[in-house]
Structure 1
């Protein structure tokens, strides 16, 4: 029986250049089980990817802050407090680092993302003062509410779909995938994964990025 999937996007469904690997448009629409895109990106990004792949919009976005399954949307996390951290961070000389348009945060509803070239120590200091967390995904620093995790989102998605999280195969590459690995039945870290993801995964793959993800899908399909 083909298992449902919980897949990170950046570093997992992408090329080393950070672009979506075109092979996702062949493999995931043909997958004969639910596919959940679980990402740190703002809500519209995974929704759009589902749309263009032609698969149901089943999404965990913003590190668990937004969940969409079976046309039900839920929000977790204190966006106002995350914004307060960002404002105070900038008042103390920091910068979010995305430029005037800031398309990284423009549609973000539960957290704030900061470019990794910015002052991490200052950001963490300010976040601690507001009792907020900073998660390093390898692509950005995410200021979020404690307890908001991708894994919590997967529990919610599984409940909505009438599945058990133990049914899921999860693939990811970073610290924010650790909670997903903790609730999924099987977890795989691609070769480019950070140390926290590698330590949490059941298996660390020899291949990176989409090559690694494809190796998992080929191994678990129709078994």
Structure 2
């Protein structure tokens, strides 16, 4: 392969095993990819940065569903945590529970949005979100309360510009509703078999393999082109 495309890779459901946790088989092909790799996730900012460190690859990340990113020693922030904090306070005042217990490691380092367990009161959460001009995204792992003008795809535009690429130069792999905006901007998009309905409908290619199996198959296919 002479002209490898840059990659934008989701993490959960895409680089992970079915039972959860990073599939260690992805480390080598991601580390050795002959073009830039961006990790794009709904997780809090430190998580993808840490994963880049341990693979290891350069810390190019989009986190918190596009609320914050890091590229070329620059941190890009779009989301406003104060708005989501006010909405969460209203949610809790109305009896809602984020569901993570007293030590909330899911949101402790989150800067631009808030994540809520999937067994939370979804109707109440969506009602409060609407009252505060926010939206709720179901990633299959949590509900994310965020600004409606914030997405992985929009942040990819900013990250790609700083890398000297058009977003359409990227190949995207993802499995969830929050990856659709990335698929819309990338040149090609792939969804593993475990992807949710919106990601499956938006992807250019639906893979036979699920979770990391699908991603590994895609990377091998791209290397063979």
Range class of TM-score, shorter chain: over 0.9
Q: Which runs of structure 2 are paired with 1:1-223 in the superposition (5 Å)?
A: 1-221=3-223, 223=225
| Pairwise CA RMSD | 0.7
Deviation at 1:85, TM superposition (A): 1.1
Task: Give the ranges of 4+ consecutive aligned residues of structure 1 lying more than 3 Å apart after TM superposition.
Answer: none
Deviation at 1:35, TM superposition (A): 0.4
Cα distance in 1, alignment partners of residues 221 and 136 from structure 2: 35
Cα distance in 1, alignment partners of residues 224 and 102 from structure 2: 48
Q: Aligned with 2:62: secondary structure?
A: strand
Aligned length: 223
Q: Aligned with 1:221: secondary structure?
A: helix
Does the CA contact (< 8 Å) of 1:150 and 1:177 recur in 2?
A: yes
Cα distance in 1, alignment partners of residues 31 and 202 from structure 2: 28
Cα distance in 2, alignment partners of residues 209 and 52 from structure 1: 20
Does the CA contact (< 8 Å) of 1:64 and 1:149 recur in 2?
A: yes
Deviation at 1:19, TM superposition (A): 0.6
Deviation at 1:222, TM superposition (A): 5.6
Deviation at 1:96, TM superposition (A): 0.2
Deviation at 1:165, TM superposition (A): 1.1
Does the CA contact (< 8 Å) of 1:67 and 1:153 recur in 2?
A: yes
Cα distance in 1, alignment partners of residues 112 and 224 from structure 2: 37
Cα distance in 1, alignment partners of residues 56 and 196 from structure 2: 31
Cα distance in 1, alignment partners of residues 101 and 73 from structure 2: 33
Could you tell me which runs of 5 or more consecutive residues in structure 2 were left unpaired when the two chains were aligned.
Answer: none
Could you tell me which runs of 5 or more consecutive residues in structure 1 were left unpaired when the two chains were aligned.
Answer: none
Cα distance in 1, alignment partners of residues 46 and 174 from structure 2: 20
Cα distance in 1, alignment partners of residues 89 and 183 from structure 2: 33
Cα distance in 2, alignment partners of residues 20 and 96 from structure 1: 25
